[in-house]
């Protein structure tokens, strides 16, 4: 029964990421059709992450209150609606322009594109709630392996989605959006017919949970100050910011060292394949042999070295070599930190805490392309890599100081956060 639930969640996340990655690489071309400048395109891409920063914690907390299944349905329905609006942006924008301001047709269409991405971001708690679902149906020993399925679904989605989206774009940029909406509708059907609720009613009606306020900046501040999950959340932020810097400016970096778009696409597919291997299988083997803290520390060291090598790599063969430890270590650290966070809180508040985690990660996806792009343009090709290494150095200090040393002095305990309520 548990394995069938995990398989269903894996398929739901895979289908969700497939739809997302179908349209993500095409957004700049779609927006430029209506006169968007590179700056406007950057804002359009960042708008999803900015909206998710707000929406993910709210949906995560809501899933703690009313259950995972209804929130997943709400989230996927919002994603489907966002894709439909993206596909209909042109005809709907022209219709609105005829009624309001015919001379502003491009601006209105761009406005609809922004609205579609913001809607998807606000309701885009699919991954957060899926992670909370996996936490509900796994024990501490199998948690990292279960959460690794999410990473594997990510990798598969990003291997297949961009290629399919690129092929469909021959018939217009609206078609991939409609296909993505269809894929999201399949997800709705899967949740309705194949996914039972994982959070029992008695765990949703806990007295402290009913009194817990909705997500606010104060709630974020309280979470960061809690003795167990606070350091893990801070570590996740700096690690994610370093990794997101690599991910978000990689295409510009590859262009700067003279790689073609086709070669860049192959390299990104290579990263996706490594992600599937690590999180789909290797993570389970590693967690059975090594403690979480050991995996975090050594993963951070390996990733720091790989990012330093990336900063000064200008040849394709060297880049292929560097990406291997970078992707492997990144996948391991990401999954283990996420698993450690779920083990450090009581199960009834897992959704809310994972929502905060997603919100912090979304923040890094807003910051990273801005800072990374500025450094690459104004300082040099090596600068984003060195910036990432500085972030990782601080992450290592934080990991030793706030996680490893305290855990050596005292037994691991659940951080209920009651003192903060």
Do residues 227 and 78 both lie within one domain?
A: no
Q: Where are the alpha helices (DSSP H) in 123-256?
A: 126-137, 143-168, 174-194, 201-204, 207-211, 217-225, 229-256
Rounded Cα–Cα distance for residues 103 and 269 (Å): 42
151 touches 11 (CB < 8 A): no
Torsion over CA: 7, 345, 337, 352 (sign): positive
pLDDT tens for each residue of 273-317:
887 788 777 888 888 888 888 999 999 999 999 999 999 998 999
pLDDT tens for each residue of 10-43:
888 888 888 877 777 777 778 888 888 867 877 8
Q: Which domain holds residue 328?
A: 215-421
> Does residue 415 surpass a pLDDT of 60?
no
Do residues 367 and 230 both lie within one domain?
A: yes
362 touches 53 (CB < 8 A): yes
What would the two tokens of residue 80 be?
């489907």
Rounded Cα–Cα distance for residues 196 and 7 (Å): 13
The band of 2, judged by pLDDT with boundaries at 50, 70 and 90, is low
The band of 421, judged by pLDDT with boundaries at 50, 70 and 90, is very low
**Which residues, at least 6 apart from 65, have a Cβ–Cβ distance to it below 8 Å?**
204, 209, 210
Q: In the listed set 140, 158, 191, which residue is the last one of a domain according to the structure?
A: 191
Count of structural domains within the chain: 2
280 touches 148 (CB < 8 A): yes
Do residues 180 and 119 both lie within one domain?
A: yes
Do residues 239 and 163 both lie within one domain?
A: no
pLDDT tens for each residue of 210-230:
445 445 566 677 777 787 888
Residue 22 confidence (pLDDT): 79
Whose tokens are 């690459």? That residue is 376
Number of helices and strands in the chain (H, E)? 20, 0
Provide the 8-state DSSP code for 410.
S
Do residues 171 and 315 both lie within one domain?
A: no
The CA-based diameter of the chain, rounded to the nearest angstrom, is 69
Q: Is residue 303 part of a domain?
A: yes
Q: Is residue 202 part of a domain?
A: no
CATH code, domain with 339: 1.20.1250.20
Whose tokens are 């706030």? That residue is 402
> Does residue 173 surpass a pLDDT of 50?
yes
Residue 371 confidence (pLDDT): 86
Do residues 242 and 384 both lie within one domain?
A: yes
* Share of residues in the chain with pLDDT > 70 (%): 89
Q: Is residue 198 part of a domain?
A: no
Residue 156 confidence (pLDDT): 82
Please count the other Cβ atoms lying within 10 Å of the Cβ belonging to residue 421: 11
Residue 164 confidence (pLDDT): 82
Q: Where are the alpha helices (DSSP H) in 67-125?
A: 68-87, 89-99, 105-122
Rounded Cα–Cα distance for residues 78 and 85 (Å): 11
Residue 408 confidence (pLDDT): 57
Residue 382 confidence (pLDDT): 92
Residue 218 confidence (pLDDT): 66
Highest mean pLDDT among 98-107, 138-147, 216-225: 98-107
> Does residue 352 surpass a pLDDT of 90?
no
> Does residue 5 surpass a pLDDT of 90?
no
Residue 207 confidence (pLDDT): 47
Q: Is residue 417 part of a domain?
A: yes
Do residues 173 and 260 both lie within one domain?
A: no
Do residues 158 and 46 both lie within one domain?
A: yes
What would the two tokens of residue 339 be?
């698993």
pLDDT tens for each residue of 51-71:
887 888 888 888 888 888 999
Q: Is residue 208 part of a domain?
A: no
Q: Is residue 205 part of a domain?
A: no
Q: Is residue 209 part of a domain?
A: no
Do residues 262 and 179 both lie within one domain?
A: no
> Does residue 125 surpass a pLDDT of 70?
no
- Say which residue, 352 or 311, is predicted with more confidence: 311
Do residues 161 and 232 both lie within one domain?
A: no
Do residues 349 and 390 both lie within one domain?
A: yes
Do residues 278 and 391 both lie within one domain?
A: yes
119 touches 82 (CB < 8 A): yes
Q: Is residue 204 part of a domain?
A: no
Q: In the listed set 158, 175, 191, which residue is the last one of a domain according to the structure?
A: 191
């Amino acid at each position: 029964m548990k394995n069938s639930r995990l398989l269903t969640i894996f398929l739901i996340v895979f289908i969700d990421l497939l739809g997302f990655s179908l349209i993500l690489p095409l957004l700049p071309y779609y927006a430029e059709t209506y006169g968007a400048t590179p700056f406007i395109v950057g804002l359009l891409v960042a708008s999803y992450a900015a909206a998710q920063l707000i929406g993910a914690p709210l949906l995560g907390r809501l899933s703690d209150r009313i259950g995972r299944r209804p929130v997943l349905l709400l989230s996927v329905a919002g994603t489907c609606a966002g894709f439909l609006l993206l596909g209909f942006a042109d005809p709907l924008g022209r219709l609105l322009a005829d009624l309001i301001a015919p001379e502003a047709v491009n601006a209105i269409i761009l406005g609809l594109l922004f609205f579609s991405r913001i809607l998807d971001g606000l309701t885009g708690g699919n991954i957060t709630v899926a992670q909370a679902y996996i936490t509900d149906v796994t024990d501490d020993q199998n948690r990292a392996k279960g959460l690794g399925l999410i990473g594997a679904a990510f990798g598969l989605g990003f291997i297949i989605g961009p290629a399919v989206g690129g092929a469909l774009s021959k018939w217009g940029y609206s078609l991939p959006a409609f296909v993505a909406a269809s894929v999201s509708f399949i997800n709705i059907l899967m949740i309705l017919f194949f996914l039972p609720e994982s959070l029992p009613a008695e765990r949703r009606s806990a007295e402290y949970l009913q009194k817990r306020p909705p997500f606010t900046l104060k709630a974020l501040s309280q979470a960061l100050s809690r003795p167990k999950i606070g350091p893990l959340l801070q570590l996740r932020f700096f690690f994610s910011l370093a990794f997101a810097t690599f991910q978000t400016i990689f295409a510009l970096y590859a262009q700067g060292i003279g790689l073609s778009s086709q070669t860049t696409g192959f390299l990104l597919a290579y990263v996706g394949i490594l992600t599937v291997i690590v999180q789909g299988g290797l993570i389970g083997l590693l967690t059975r042999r090594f403690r979480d803290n050991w995996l975090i520390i050594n993963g951070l060291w390996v990733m720091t070295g790989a990012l330093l090598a990336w900063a000064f790599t200008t040849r394709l063969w060297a880049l292929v070599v560097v990406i291997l430890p970078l992707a492997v270590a990144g996948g391991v650290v990401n999954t283990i930190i996420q698993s450690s966070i779920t083990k450090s809180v009581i199960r009834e508040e897992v959704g809310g805490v994972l929502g905060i985690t997603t919100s912090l990660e979304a923040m890094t996806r807003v910051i990273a392309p801005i800072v990374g792009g500025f450094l690459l343009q104004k300082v040099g090709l090596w600068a984003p890599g060195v910036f990432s290494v500085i972030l990782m150095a601080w992450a290592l200090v934080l990991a030793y100081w706030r996680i490893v040393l305290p855990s050596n002095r005292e037994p691991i305990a659940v951080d209920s956060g009651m003192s903060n309520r």
